Structure 1
């Protein structure tokens, strides 16, 4: 099974980029977009000057509990930049969502509870709500994380979208929001 099939089997369709999209990023944005692949893992990430965005991280069931996810994150943490990623809200019918969140909580990630993120999927046409998690080695603010997410959305998520999908994703102003007063519920508070 190739790297794309592994990701495609694990991540919901509404979160997946097409293989052509990821291959275009790897080829045309090779300066920032990277694939770290091994027998039991695939990690797709973008490294910019002042942050890292993990697009996808997959560890096979065969290797779970062996510390592979921790090692992959440690490799990125050594770069000393904030690390940002998107996760699904807790879904009690899918036990993986809670396990995933507990993993990131153990890895010292915080929930960006001032950042709202809702995007219409080009695959399903349904609006998808995601949560933003981040690791901040220098106590970077959520405003900093928000700006980094806007950059990620424009450089990575919508890269050649019209050409690759036949239509464009919504503009970043409709997808991401920052509300410093009315914080959302902290996703880690929902864990049992």
Structure 2
């Protein structure tokens, strides 16, 4: 089972439907899609800067932003199946379909290490992949990605969040960070033709 995280900014790109189509065509039974918050999360940042509310509220609002992008993705590609828990994800995959994570279980009632902007949807996707014992995590970005950079270097450059590399240190699966234009590379990975470029 793979987790594929598509950055929220990719959801505003013309290639977004092509990514969804690819994951439905080749990911049935083994791919769980995680969507970033994109412009919805940007509105949370704007509101927090305006009203100065705490990071716990901002975290929960950002999780809801991820859910909004997920609903957008499902409306564009109805063959994606919404799933809000590990059990629901496994049921969708067992049925041979592509799961689309609704991350409501990531909402919190009290502050924690997760309730800050240092932990983005990238790290939430990584955490989900670990809990699901995934075989691979692919993170799709709209910004340029240096294929020679380590996860720590990508974090330093702002491509990934600052906590990602530390969380990934003991991950038992390869992690690929790819550019939104690399649909061919993603297809090759799904077909077993790609080489891991991992942590």
Higher relative contact order by CA 8 Å / sep ≥ 6: 1 or 2? 2
TM range (shorter): 0.3 to 0.5
| Higher strand content, 1 or 2 | 1
State the TM-score, normalized to the length of structure 2. Answer: 0.32
State the TM-score, normalized to the length of structure 1. Answer: 0.33
